[in-house]
Structure 1
């Protein structure tokens, strides 16, 4: 480590952050768990490279934040970082092995005595106090501790006792695994406990005792007692699902000691309630002791002088044995002074002015505490982040991938930097963890160096366990935990805390506007962080990322177990109508559970068809997935329409949707003992979601929560080039519901939604301008369309666009209804528009395209509006379009000459497959279909579906058929099967042309265990050979391609 740091770094601890001149430099970080005088030895300073032998000790500088937990209020003058006063013990002031440096540090928890009263506040984020040790180039700071001389003062009274406070606060259990309240000793089988004070109190003076505890009991007659000093009753806990888990009481009383040993006993009376239990919050005892100092027990002696009186002076006397203690006044923690005391016959004495309540510490040099070395590190100061728009915060352990993610955004034109959490703590709080330090850093950064900062990524998991008490330590980047800790319904977690950045904000932030779009990527390990950055990179830049999936939205609703729950589908369908109106480009897939047949299972019900539909649609890819209904940390709905198994099995590695959920704690991210379903959905390394706008705590189904869902989807569709951070920020700023605090963006806020930015324009149909076409299209009529790719802001042909366009020509909306499977409420009627008259691909050349197809006979013959959804892409750009202005219905009356059904060929996995060959349990059925009039995939004619039949069980496969490029007469069916049983199977394929003439093919195949590689049908040709040979074989493994040289 360098033996100096720049003067800019030294200004780190200037009282006003706004006046700091930030620079780069190295430092050593230490910590302690004790309040009192501490010591660094010359050997320690040399070993850690802080100073070298012979260096002037005047160059040594210590920084510390002295005021406990930081304030949550934003302020340009809020810094409490200060120099630490040093007592240097050395003969010549030059560093050697015998040098010693003494200084005072306070623990992060706060105990204050004031006029015989006291207050106690545990630090919410740390049980250790941290401080920074550096060395200057020269003696820039006067931080030497000077003796304080009480000159001209005459004592008016003598003080032979001191006030002491003893706090017992073990905090080992969080009862509901939420919030920031932790509790200690359990009173259950053991109902009486005795606690011994560390010092003997003075006789004749009562102990002032305060006890706080919580209890869980079904009756209201259980009680807490201070033995010999009173009791208090606990109320009974509530019985509803949203009731608090425990009730809370505080008991204050006085107790005179009857023995030499100072003890306090507490008891819990269950009052006959065997299931009752009590947990101790804290025990505080305020008492007086005689003035005596015991050497070499490293306990030190704290002295509070309660005597007050203008113009009065106390003479304080403390007896000691062995070495004489030094006396330090620590009333002002930022200006600790050494007191000039008098030593006479084993008594040290000094005068103390009574103008204010004063506090002292007595410590022999050998009793000074030894701090614990943490690390050396180098600061990246604020100018390094000048002008950024996107900030990534990560723990040191994940900084490699955080920097990689920053580079990805930098390369796409968004100025981004990553900073370690430890660096923030060092800059703002001298290393002590505190979430307010994170916000203060962001506040200072945006105020002084990065006014255009818009996005914040928290790159690491969080936990309600701020202090790492539990074995599964996942508090890598903390979140704000509510003070309410007794119910998942009344508690919350939120990262919004870091986004309120105006001067004076930070306290009443429920009513304030967010200044940042904030997202969290809840990774815990290097592997998870690598996989997530890989996943984001694929979503943004993979060569095959473009595709029709970017124009598909999936809307999912729970069923109605109770009559009011019908609104799940009603609200979701209202969103569908709004999207269909504002974004006709979207193809909407509605999966309303109650519209499917419910199946009874032992002890429960299931919707297997709805679950399979959801799984397949996500696997195929989608831009958005929206869900409303019941849910939790393991999935959606009591009927389990989404399960952890589904989430873990998705392999949509590029075409990953953004999920929005209006449910309960589906994406809770602060439980170190469980990875929630929402987290797993994001962390799936080869599929699932790219991000989630999701609930992290229980919410109620109200208009305000539904409004959040509406706003989220509306913002994603209406904002120009929306990044996910913009979506969550504007949604929350436009919603006044208290429940908005329970929604979080889980994912990268700097990611732009994979929404096409160009437009597909249909300009003519059957030789007429699209906007002037007034004819009605008929069943069996020919349709010829022409279109082009255009800008959206400045419409016009983009003549360098060369790629493909996918066209979905849907028949009129079809009426559907829910089935009231659980017998609650009434049916809900809605419509779907997913019956494809034609689904095919055409080439786009110089921005233009055209295609032809024939309308199937099986359309709904009533006249109405079809929907035309289109998507196009070239090598790097994509476009979409939507139109519902045409009319279709009736039958073409011309002559039809096609009298033959389609040619049908069926394969497994690839077109080289031979009937009787082998496969794994997840094969893909491939059908090659052709007919001069085209294939019927509309799905409205009875018995005219494209159907696959596996071992006698038929499956409609219309949605899995796509016409070939520029050829409506042929196309390919690709239908994935999952978890087919081991053994021989018969698969049949039947397809119809648009005239309802059919074709058929079948094959058999053998499923073998996927984990057991098997080869068969091995063919080598030519045989014999001279220079080369080709092999053709079947196997049951996942397909991989490689080239081997022999």
Structure 2
């Protein structure tokens, strides 16, 4: 939260950002990547109806981190059972429908008043809503009554000290209990745990240590190699560990200054805070016999001569995982020469790789972008050099932090982003990207968002190959998600085969898209016997969740 309250800036409320920065720099373990959302640093708008201050950029950033599966969402500031901050940075009635982190549901700690006001049966607090919402929250710690900023901060720091202790391995409920014992302030008794108190945060049990950096000072446009090894809690290497690792290399952090306003609206005081340096590399690498190696090309956009870059490594397999972080990474004052003038290659699609330009999507599709460049992709986030999606020329979505290189590659990778609340109709999409040599690429495509309220329609039905010898596949386009059945008949009208029901999705459906069966037919009837040569009819029927249906008839030919 910032220093603004209902009647303007208040000196005593400067404490929220100061406490948040102290936590980020002093309490968060090195292996935790902290994303700071200080709402005072975002542009202010005003609600057209109430005139209240709003921070839409901060809200968008918060929802983005939630939906990407943040381990913990931590808030310090003003609030009540339904909202965070006077600027409504998180508002249940507005934002709950936009929260969907899939299976990576975060844990929330809100050091604020009354967000956990659970004892009103007819007025559910936001934590209660998040717990029962798919993709909402795995657990929440929040207060049920009014609290104060100083006790909130002491309680939160004590909780994090306990819950981040990997050696102690405490559950979240135990960490809450001990934090309340350590800080018996009168208002801390109002904090409650929403969820299973025996739950433990998904903290890796193993360590990943950086073993070498080659060269020892990274050179812009030069190739670098990062090596590490997986170790147990005693620091012993684990030669039996085989799996994968995500390696992220950061440039040196930036120090910025925020100026607080006084009640008269004039500058009152200031606070320095750090933000993570640009990302130099983020990729998936193989981990064999406990060892991992990542190669990458250093971007041109680095802080030449800086001394405090960092490497974060997360290794995992089906049984266990490990994490580690090391700072002090040096950047050379020099730059390697480059003759690369070729921009990245861009591939874009929605929901599945078979999507094509102009195809249908739902109002909340997942956007996929694949990038390929011999010099690697610029992930630093320098001004103007982001990976960016632009919808209809005005809605911009930054995808830089979502990009991950493919396994053991530093030239090819992808980013994905769930989109929300797209209006029905035809839309234009632009994708921008830069490579590490700052060559710019741009591509355009179009897509059609279906109206979820419209009647279901089934279009572009065909089978291929046609004629076929042994097998043929069915494709079709749906206006909305639906249950699909395919029935095949002889020319005289006798049914010989039924396929399905299948779960079809809005847009084009291909053989690889079927959730419960296959859109491929093996040329056999319901008894497993091969059909004779000749002409056959098929009927594809799609039924929506509301019970509406549509069907299409096609003809196929079997020739062997």
**For this structure pair, what is the TM-score category when the shorter chain's length is used for normalisation?**
0.7 to 0.9
Q: What is the CA-CA distance between 1:976 and the residue it aligns to?
A: 2.1
CA contact (8 A) 2:307 2:328 kept: no
The alpha-carbon distance between structure 1 residues 862 and 764, as it changes in their structure 2 partners (threshold 3 A), is closer
Alpha-carbon shift at residue 654 of structure 1 (Å): 2.2
* Match status 1:803 vs 2:250: no
* Cα distance change on mapping 1:1015 and 1:958 into 2, 3 Å: farther
Partner-residue secondary structure (3-state), 2:62: helix
Map residues 933-1012 of structure 1 onto 2, 5 A cutoff: 933-940=375-382, 942-953=383-394, 954-1012=396-454
How much has 1:1018 moved relative to structure 2? 4.1
Inter-partner Cα distance in structure 2 for 1:1014 and 1:1023: 24
Aligned to 1:1042: 516
Contact 1:648 1:680 in 2 (8 A): no
Counterpart position of 2:321: 878
**Bigger strand share:** 2
Question: CA, structure 1 residues 741+584, in 2 after alignment: closer, same or farther (shift >3 Å)?
Answer: same
Asked whether 1:716 is paired with 2:159, we answer no
Question: Per-residue displacement from partner, 1:937-962 (whole Å, max 9, x unpaired)?
Answer: 1111x322212111112332211211
Matches within 5 A, 1:908-923: 908-923=350-365
Q: Give yes or no for contact 2:172–2:200 (8 Å, CA) kept in 1.
A: yes
Question: What's 2:145 paired with?
Answer: 697
Q: Give 1:860's match in structure 2, choosing from 298, 303, 318.
A: 303
Partner of 1:239: none
Identify if the C-alpha distance between structure 1 residues 1014 and 884 changes in structure 2 by more than 3 Å, giving closer, same or farther: farther
2:208 is the counterpart of 1:760: yes
CA–CA distance in structure 2, aligned partners of residues 826 and 629 of structure 1: 19
Q: What is the CA-CA distance between 1:853 and the residue it aligns to? A: 0.1
| 1:837 aligns to 2:280 (yes or no) | yes
Q: Kindly tell me: are residues 1015 and 972 of structure 1, through their superposed partners in 2, closer, same or farther at Cα, counting changes over 3 Å?
A: farther
Which residue matches 2:24? 576
Residues in 2 aligned to 1:952 and 1:819: alpha-carbon distance in whole angstroms: 33
Corresponding residue to 2:37 among 591, 601, 617: 591
How far has the Cα of 1:595 moved from its partner?
0.9
Judging changes above 3 Å, is the alpha-carbon distance between structure 1 residues 677 and 933 closer, same or farther for their aligned structure 2 residues?
same
How far residue 826 of structure 1 moved from its aligned partner, in angstroms, is 3.8
How has the CA–CA distance of structure 1 residues 563 and 1019 changed in structure 2, closer, same or farther, with 3 Å as cutoff? farther
Q: What TM-score do the two structures reach when normalised by structure 1?
A: 0.44
Measured in 2, the distance between the counterparts of 1:1036 and 1:690 equals 34
Residue in 1 aligned with 2:537?
none
For residues 594-646 of structure 1, give each alpha carbon's deviation from its aligned partner in whole angstroms, at most 9, with x where no partner exists.
11111111221211111111111111112111101111111211211111142
Counterpart among 885, 888, 899 of residue 341 in structure 2: 899
C-alpha contact 1:812 1:860 (8 A) present in aligned 2: yes
Question: How far does residue 705 in structure 1 lie from its aligned partner after superposition?
Answer: 2.3
The answer (yes or no) to whether the contact 1:766–1:783 under 8 Å persists in 2 is: yes
The counterpart of 1:789, out of the listed 208, 221, 230, is 230
Q: Deviations over 1:200-247 (max 9, x none)?
A: xxxxxxxxxxxxxxxxxxxxxxxxxxxxxxxxxxxxxxxxxxxxxxxx
Deviations 1:462-493 (A, max 9, x none): xxxxxxxxxxxxxxxxxxxxxxxxxxxxxxxx
Corresponding residue SS for 2:63: helix
Deviations 1:876-932 (A, max 9, x none): 21111111022124232x432323111112222222111111111112221111011
2:252 corresponds to: 812
Q: How far off is 1:688 after superposition? A: 1.6
Q: Secondary structure at 1:844's aligned position in 2?
A: strand
- Partner secondary structure for residue 426 of structure 2: strand
* Residue number in structure 2 paired with 1:106: none
Partner of 2:532: none
State how far apart, in whole Å, the 1-side matches of 2:407 and 2:371 are.
13
Alignment match, 2:130: 681
Matches within 5 A, 1:359-378: none
- What are the ranges of 5 or more consecutive residues in structure 2 without an aligned counterpart? 482-504, 506-513, 527-560
Q: What's the TM-score, normalizing by structure 2?
A: 0.81
Secondary structure at the aligned position of 1:651 is classed as coil
| 1:1032 Cα offset (Å) | 3.4
- 2:247·2:294 contact (CA, 8 Å) conserved in 1? no
> Per-residue deviation at 1:835?
2.1
CA deviation vs aligned residue, 1:818-870 (integer Å, no higher than 9, x gap): 46589474443311105211111101122211110011001222413112111
Q: Which moved more, 1:1031-1040 or 1:995-1004?
A: 1031-1040
Match of 2:556 in 1: none
Contact in 2 for aligned 1:716/1:753 (Cα 8 Å): yes
Q: CA RMSD in A?
A: 2.1
1:558 CA drift (Å): 4.5
> What SS is found at the alignment partner of 2:401?
helix
Residues 818 and 920 of structure 1: CA distance in aligned 2, closer, same or farther (over 3 Å): farther
After superposition, the C-alpha distances for 1:140-168 in whole angstroms (9 at most, x for unaligned) are: xxxxxxxxxxxxxxxxxxxxxxxxxxxxx
Q: Distance in 2 between matches of 1:997 and 1:651?
A: 35
CA deviations 1:727-764 (Å, max 9, x no partner) are: 01211121131111111122211112211111111112
Judged with a 3 Å threshold, the aligned counterparts in structure 2 of structure 1 residues 993 and 1019 are, in CA distance, closer, same or farther, namely farther
Structure 1 residues 607 and 1019 mapped into 2: Cα distance closer, same or farther (>3 Å)?
farther
Structure 2 distance, partners of 1:1031, 1:909, is 19
Counterpart for residue 535 of structure 2:
none
Cα distance in 2 for partners of 1:1014, 1:778 equals 56
Give the corresponding residue for 1:289: none
Match of 1:162 in 2: none
Counterparts in 2 of 1:569 and 1:673: CA distance versus 1, 3 Å? same
SS at match of 2:308: coil
Could you tell me how far apart the structure 1 residues matched to 2:273 and 2:440 are? Answer: 32
- Please state how far the C-alpha of 1:1016 moved relative to its aligned partner: 4.4
- 1:17-36: per-residue Cα shift (whole Å, max 9, x none)? xxxxxxxxxxxxxxxxxxxx
Please give the alpha-carbon distance, in whole angstroms, between the structure 2 residues aligned to 1:660 and 1:800: 37
**Deviation digits for residues 401-426 of structure 1, max 9, x if unmatched?**
xxxxxxxxxxxxxxxxxxxxxxxxxx
CA distance in 2 between counterparts of 1:815 and 1:1032 reads 55
8 Å CA contact 1:903–1:999 kept in 2: the answer is yes
Q: 1:1028 aligns with which of 458, 468, 471?
A: 471
Q: What is the Cα deviation at residue 669 of structure 1?
A: 1.5
How many aligned positions are there?
Answer: 476
The 1:1002/1:1018 distance shift into structure 2, 3 A limit, reads farther
Distance (whole Å) between structure 2 residues aligned to residue 861 and residue 1037 of structure 1:
52
Greater Cα shift, 817-826 or 926-935: 817-826
CA contact (8 A) 2:277 2:309 kept: no
Question: Structure 2: how far apart are the matches of 1:819 and 1:1026?
Answer: 74
- Cα pair distance change 1:961/1:681, threshold 3 Å: same
Is residue 2:59 matched to residue 1:611? yes
Q: Does 1:651 align with 2:100?
A: yes
Give the CA deviation at 1:1015: 4.5
Deviation at 1:810, TM superposition (A): 1.2
Q: CA 1:609–1:1018 in 2, change beyond 3 Å: closer, same or farther?
A: farther
Q: Is the 8 A contact 2:147 2:188 kept in 1?
A: no
Encode CA deviations 1:706-746: one digit per residue, 9 max, x unaligned.
Answer: 10011111111125222112201211121131111111122
Which residue of 2 is the match for residue 560 of structure 1?
Answer: 4
